[in-house]
Amino acid sequence: VGAAAQAMDSPDVGVPWLYPGFAVLAFVWSAADSFGIGANDVANSFSTAVASGTLNHRQAVVVALFTEFTGAVVLGASVTDTVRPVEQP
């Protein structure tokens, strides 16, 4: 009984350790989904600038790189606070 109880307290027990393929699949799926959402946002933001000739593709990629990264780092915490449900007392 002691060995079984000790095994249950181990951090190696749980869904990610029981099904590592599922955990890898979930990570790959979420990364691809995030990439697709970000690509769609960038395309919507810069399509007019590229189509009008104001920016070429390389310039649009560089601007998108800095603005997307800076927005995620600077505004990420405030977005999380807004989306997180308010705890009821």
Q: pLDDT tens for residues 52-73?
A: 999 999 999 899 888 888 888 8
Phi, then psi, of 86 in degrees rounded to 5:
-80, 130
Contact 56, 82 (CB under 8 A): no
pLDDT band at 86 (very low <50, low <70, confident <90, very high): low
